[in-house]
Chains A and B, each alone.
Chain A
Amino acid sequence: MRRGSRFVTATLFVVVTAIWLRASGAAPASAATAATASALNAGCYLATPTVCKLQVDPFAVQTFFGARLEGIRLQANGQTIYDFRTDVSNPPSGSYSPSRVKLGFAATCGRAYVVSLQVDDSSQPDFTTVAQTTLFTCPQGRSDVFLPLVTR
């Protein structure tokens, strides 16, 4: 009987600890199934003599064990430049490669950037950074100076 009550106590302790860990946000078990991504490669270029754009090469996001992709965020120096969400009823799972945007991402000439990729899937409570570039610098754009001409 004593052994039995010890067993029940131990079981209840495990159950309570599991609930507490899950509620506190610590999820070591789910870290193993977190989404991953292919290499993130990006750069900055002069789109016009005074306008710079960020170019992000195609990448793929991978979810595991049936987890569904819910969102992707591209950030430049921690600031979101692309907020992407999936279909509410039929989100993709497995490997997904978002198509490239048509106009490129705005950037400031002369500034240095690190671009990072964050992913949110159904196995995680929030976005997680899964890839990041090293630092690169936008070319120095040209500031056009216009001198008014006065003619008589």
Chain B
Amino acid sequence: MKQKLLLVVVGLVAVGLTVFGATVAFRKDVSAAPEGFASPINVGCYIAAPNQCRIHVDPFTININDGAGARLQQFTLYANGSPIYDFRTDVSNPPGVDYSPSLVAQDFAATCGTTYVVNMIAKDTTDANPLNYGQTTAFTCPTTVP
């Protein structure tokens, strides 16, 4: 009886280890957490015309710590480390609550065939320096018109 119980336990442990091992082996790695808080930064690149590609950024919200009286001062969008959108707030009346910037009218210029990572850096009045608020995984602009 004891032997049967032991065998059942061994079998269950083996199955459990298999499931755990498969989960660990096939998971997709996630990078470090952002320093500030914003809704996810989701971005893509599309071909608008021959040799004309554009980066499109989905709407996002920057979370302001209104409990601490923080006010949003700036945010900047970067593509591969180069700024593509530098945004500043009102000097006398900066936003003190969560802020969702409007979408630009023509999307952002990009080079067809290039792979990009886009990240957003922002600063409020409680930050000593701008902080990274979100970043995409790499995506590639199309090369030719279908």
Contact = CB atoms under 8 A, between A and B. Distances in A.
Interface residues of A, number: 47
B44 A83 contact: yes
Contact of B28 (A11, A70, A111): A70
Contacts of B4: 3-4, 7
A15 B14 contact: yes
Contacts of B136: 85-88
Contact of B14 (A3, A12, A79, A125): A12
Contacts of A83: 44-46, 139-142
Contacts, number: 147
Interface residues of B, number: 54
Contacts of A34: none
Interface stretch (A35-43, A101-109, A127-135, A142-150): A101-109
Nearest to A102: B107
Contacts of B44: 72, 82-85, 98, 101
A60 interface: no
A91 interface: yes
Interface in B1-49: 3-4, 7-8, 10-11, 14-15, 18, 21-22, 25-28, 30-34, 39-49
Given A83-B46, A106-B48, A122-B27, 5 more contacts: A22-B26, A85-B136, A86-B40, A89-B135, A102-B107
Interface of A: 1, 3-4, 7-8, 11-12, 14-15, 18-19, 22, 51, 70-72, 74, 76-77, 79-92, 98-99, 101-108, 111, 113, 122, 125
